[in-house]
Structure 1
């Protein structure tokens, strides 16, 4: 007997993966019900209200290579030019801070990288040659390793200089993988470099959101789903999931509603609980091996006229001197309503958070005052520290990540932790949601 058609689909989890799956399913003609336990869509990349201020729970940079993210944003009506500031690939430190100034000109690849190297300030000839050698070797290897290792091992293997590691490779690794180089996967890091340093010029562009992260996609995604006959339920936690074998393999959620198919788009611990109930104990158990890393964003409000010379700078972090910040963004250059507000990002922020939020905020303010040579920055008018304790999984070498297909009829997984060559980024979440949806729509056809 033919498998029943997939018409009604429950998507459990309203983060970027769940919203992407919901949009792709709605585009294919499915009636989608999106369940989100929180009151805000976006998951670990969302807007939060803090004392009447609309902030993101973390500062993000997207890349021009995020093809699926950009495609779905367009599909739900986001004007990409208005929604994000487009900048060429760069790693720029404040003048006089002992860093470097690396900016890729708008030339075809790989000329943009070659010219960026030639013009880079703050790097010795040995540093530039090491970067060029690494890039050419990685291209020759097609950005792949036979056996995964740590990023630190990879950099040592290819004779990268200490200064290049400090100013380029380490901050890129922390920003992209949220895992320290000595523990981070070299293979995943190479995939990120392939789509930044090794990509076509437009693909290597850095995209800074002007909208808050919920407005950048999840809110528009919800409207898209509702506009096609679906529904979005906030504050709706799905506590249980059961197979209805007598109804052609449909699925019943905790409140008794039944659906032809289900996408589980929650973090691994919640997904494991649902998978156990659904009859996939081995898959549920496999999700327990993930370790997690925090990300902290410190917002500092200064007088509205306070600005940086650039939209963002890289910062040299140094725990010994209390310099925890790795990047600083001038929010006023992205959103005029946030004039005078800076956001400072600390990836893999476990050690930085130990002294407490108040102490960390002051340390970040002191760091800005020091490296920017502006003593007044040590006294912000207002600060807010936001930490996501489980922002991403620790992206370690050889990490086993589950497939989207659970092996159960019309039950699929979506999330940035599923099998991918990318780390836990917005793009990997979106790709996973799209892949999960397509598994179901293929059966629908």
Structure 2
């Protein structure tokens, strides 16, 4: 089959890899000059960094499998740490880190050893964990995260130091608007993981482009496929038993298409063919993420690879997590990355003002006055980093009513929020649907969707 994969983010690359390994003739097209989408490598002041700092989980089975498939060794490419929430000493936060005990004892150990939490906080956390396990980490009637926390009588301090930061980091949506159902799914695979290793936090040592997209492109090309960057998909049209794509003004024919473009672009492309689906995609709202890079003298090294920070936008404290890039890549000694998720207000600030405020925050919290005066700074803001993960959000499946055309992207149906794992799973599922479609006789392909034979319709 001749399959076009439009969109070179992690979802598109995952679909392209699966299809190429299955024998399809794959053409992967990306409008940008580099692959990776919203998780890609960029050059800043001569350093190869990311457009946003990421943390993966040990539970990301699909992502870890594909890394191996494309020739990346996860043990070498990722720094594995036990699940934790650790604030700088003396900053008013807490220290919560799971020992390397079998699950669920690792969570009990973290709770018993936790510093900065009172007896009422620890009892509230134990109560939440017990109730969530009894529920199977499933909430059938969705509500906001704040409503869920109130239902389980969580303390203000526990909310401030644990639940709210976890919600913002995982869902990139404020807890007052975030889906409790999706939040529980994230907690199920972190604090509530059945295997301790699944709850581990994985910090990339490579830039996000080198971690997967570039290796995926090499695999596609080794299998006879083509990877074309700087090529935009202008339009698509159904012709005979296939699809005609207009790529940067030139037409090309394909048997099937994986649309792995961002939801707004996908909606525009689908509007002439499936107005109802396009309308659903147009309804998505989005949240920004800002990452501030600060370069110091190479001798600067934090005690930990990353810290949680107490944010307070009203006081100019924007940073939520700080990463020591030098502990991930020795060539980046002295480079810190500070993440601001759900960064709507921060994104409206002047970049220099935002960076200056974050530098002062670091100096205060880490008790290192020199951090207030970095050698240089750079703020990178992804204005549409993720969709707003709100209760009851209508997320489409991977399959569509259009024969031979499927969707891939972190916005598609999943119990996870917009994560790398969601994107990869969606790409794998899209490839599975296309492969099933390709095994049908041509005369049956146009009927496959009505008959329900085109494969799974969503990622789980």
- Using the size of structure 2 for normalisation, the TM-score is 0.94
The CA deviation at 1:10 is: 0.2
Corresponding residue to 1:250 among 242, 248, 264: 242
The match for 2:402 is 408
In 2, the alpha carbon distance for the partners of 1:223 and 1:170 equals 40
2:161 matches 1:149: no
Unaligned runs of 5+ in 2: 440-460
Counterpart secondary structure, 2:271? helix
1:211-231 Cα offsets, whole Å, 9 max, x none, are 000000000000000000000
2:153 matches 1:162: no
In 1, the alpha carbon distance for the partners of 2:378 and 2:322 equals 14
Mapping of 1:346-425 within 5 angstroms? Answer: 346-425=340-419
The match for 2:123 is 129
1:193-251 Cα offsets, whole Å, 9 max, x none, are 00000002000000000000000000000000000000000000010100012xxx200
In 2, the alpha carbon distance for the partners of 1:62 and 1:403 equals 24
Q: Could you tell me whether the CA contact under 8 Å between 2:47 and 2:332 is conserved in 1?
A: no
The match for 1:4 is none
1:75-123 Cα offsets, whole Å, 9 max, x none, are 0000111101000000000000011111101111110000110000111
The CA deviation at 1:52 is: 2.5
Corresponding residue to 1:139 among 133, 141, 157: 133
1:296-338 Cα offsets, whole Å, 9 max, x none, are 0000000000010000000000112211100000000000110
The match for 1:94 is 88
The CA deviation at 1:185 is: 0.2
Bigger Cα displacement from structure 2, 319-328 vs 290-299? 319-328
Bigger Cα displacement from structure 2, 250-259 vs 61-70? 250-259
The CA deviation at 1:269 is: 1.2
The match for 1:260 is 255
2:223 matches 1:228: yes
The match for 2:53 is 59
Root-mean-square deviation (Å): 0.8
The match for 1:43 is 37
In 2, the alpha carbon distance for the partners of 1:92 and 1:163 equals 14
Unaligned runs of 5+ in 1: 1-6
Corresponding residue to 1:239 among 231, 234, 239: 234
In 2, the alpha carbon distance for the partners of 1:328 and 1:109 equals 27
Counterpart secondary structure, 1:239? strand
Divergent runs of 4+, >3 A? none
Counterpart secondary structure, 2:197? coil
1:27-48 Cα offsets, whole Å, 9 max, x none, are 1111100000000100000011
The CA deviation at 1:164 is: 0.4
Q: Could you tell me whether the CA contact under 8 Å between 2:140 and 2:181 is conserved in 1?
A: no
Mapping of 1:323-334 within 5 angstroms? Answer: 323-334=317-328
The CA deviation at 1:384 is: 0.4
In 1, the alpha carbon distance for the partners of 2:205 and 2:45 equals 20
The CA deviation at 1:353 is: 2.6
The CA deviation at 1:284 is: 1.1
The CA deviation at 1:8 is: 1.0
In 2, the alpha carbon distance for the partners of 1:43 and 1:395 equals 19
In 2, the alpha carbon distance for the partners of 1:119 and 1:51 equals 41
Corresponding residue to 2:291 among 290, 294, 297: 297
2:165 matches 1:171: yes
Say how many residue pairs are matched. 435
2:181 matches 1:187: yes
The match for 1:209 is 204
In 1, the alpha carbon distance for the partners of 2:157 and 2:170 equals 19
Q: Could you tell me whether the CA contact under 8 Å between 2:399 and 2:430 is conserved in 1?
A: yes
The CA deviation at 1:126 is: 0.9
In 1, the alpha carbon distance for the partners of 2:95 and 2:431 equals 42
- Using the size of structure 1 for normalisation, the TM-score is 0.97
Corresponding residue to 1:114 among 108, 131, 153: 108
Q: Could you tell me whether the CA contact under 8 Å between 2:298 and 2:334 is conserved in 1?
A: yes
In 2, the alpha carbon distance for the partners of 1:49 and 1:376 equals 25
In 2, the alpha carbon distance for the partners of 1:197 and 1:326 equals 20
Q: Could you tell me whether the CA contact under 8 Å between 2:323 and 2:337 is conserved in 1?
A: yes
Q: Could you tell me whether the CA contact under 8 Å between 2:173 and 2:389 is conserved in 1?
A: yes
